[in-house]
Amino acid sequence: MEIKRDYYLNKLTAKRHNGLIKVITGMRRCGKSYLLFSLFKGYLLASGISPDHILEIPFDSYENKKYRDPDVFYAFVKGALKDDQMYYVLLDEVQLLGEFEAVLNGLMRISNVDVYVTGSNARFLSKDIVTEFRGRGDVLHMNPLSFAEFISVYNGTKYDAWNEYVLYGGLPPVAMLKTPEQKIEYLKNLFVETYVNDIVSRHKIRNKEEFEELIDILSSGIGSLTNPKKLSDTFKTKKNKKISVNTIKSYLDYLCDAFIINQAVRYDIKGKHYIDTPKKYYFTDIGLRNARINFRQLEENHTMENIVFNELFARGFNVDVGVVVSSARDKNGEKIRKQLEVDFVCNKGSRRYYVQSAFSFADDEKLRQEANSLRHINDSFKKIIVVKDTPAPWYTEDGILVTGICDFLLNPNSLDSDG
């Protein structure tokens, strides 16, 4: 069964012939190889490119082991160029190619060669991979399946699909597995045997146990404001362990660099400046997070908030946590200042949206509470509340759009909906 990833395919095809090395990054098992060797290759063939002008090498295949030698590989590519037409070089697990940075930079000097690469070890997944190519890299970051992509291969209603998505996430191999037992086993093994071991090996972490305990703490507190000092204190009080703030900070950086988690920084909306700490951390794939805590603590409100963040991030927004400072009076009439939180401040170029994730409205008072921070924002940018269930998008008297989670996720233009 083919999972369509049109969003990424369109982005990749738009980069053709741009004179740069196209670097597909993203967490393991999110579909990078499938995008390159199945979807993109299929696009090239359908566009009339001759098969002998598409050179594809998965370096992790035993039959291609000899091409890991940079001299052998370079000679193979040069020998395949029979005319002045464009040749497409598609390389998977490129970190297995010796001196791959120098080799690929060399290929870019050949005018009729267009290079596309993926890689999946911790080094290649690191966010600073573009520096490996000395400014000649063009990164396409890939995420696990969005809910819209997931439901395209799901056999059932969108509500059943949602229930499965919030449990097992959007890694393509997981979506293809049939039983809950298969999905759970895959996710648990993948986290430890692949993600954790990659990071431990790359960064030479001496205490793997405490690193995994930090992951457990983050898994239990998605969407909570925290910082290295608070996490260090948590280890001291709950684990009876002393871990320095600097070590915690390094661990967080490793997890972000490998795309396992993403951080959201706080932004003072009225003051127009960032607040360095505390921050929020969200898991790139909610299924991996759930597997990490053995599918306990499955509070759907926190899970939904994580999924909303991932959707906004995947749509290309810079996503921050908003803070609105308001003035009020206490019971004695004294003036006090209150900090109100907006879940997400989303920016892309000149566009901005304020998005609140609210699991449900039990009554009008709950709606008023959820909308309170949004009402204190004085600019004209659109304000949206995403809830789990609502018959159809509608506007409150304050002009705030209320939309259901499925409408929000399945409509690529949901932020611009008129209700």
pLDDT over threshold 60, residue 303: yes
pLDDT at 143 over 60: yes
Residue with tokens 């995403």: 386
> Which amino acid appears at position 217 of this protein?
I
* Average pLDDT for 354-379: 87
Asked whether residue 120 carries a pLDDT value surpassing 70, the answer given is no
Measure the CA–CA gap between 409 and 407, rounded to whole angstroms.
Answer: 6
Q: Lowest mean pLDDT of 82-91, 251-260, 293-302, 312-321, name the range.
A: 293-302
The domains of the chain, with CATH numbers, are 6-141 (3.40.50.300)
Return the pLDDT at 127. Answer: 56
pLDDT at 79: 96
pLDDT in tens, 397-415: 999 999 999 999 999 999 9
Strand 54-58, strand 87-92: pairing:
parallel
Report, as an integer, the average pLDDT of 45-73.
96
Q: What is the mean pLDDT of the chain?
A: 91
Looking at residue 215, its pLDDT comes to 96
* Residue bearing tokens 């600019």: 379
Does the CA dihedral 177-122-56-10 come out positive or negative?
positive
pTM: 0.92
One-letter amino acid of 287: G
Residues 348-354 have a mean pLDDT of 96
Mean pLDDT lowest for which of 262-276, 298-312, 329-343, 365-379?
A: 329-343
Determine contact, residues 232/248, Cβ cutoff 8 Å. Answer: yes
Q: How confident is the model at residue 178 (pLDDT cuts 50, 70, 90)?
A: very high
The pLDDT value given to residue 165: 97
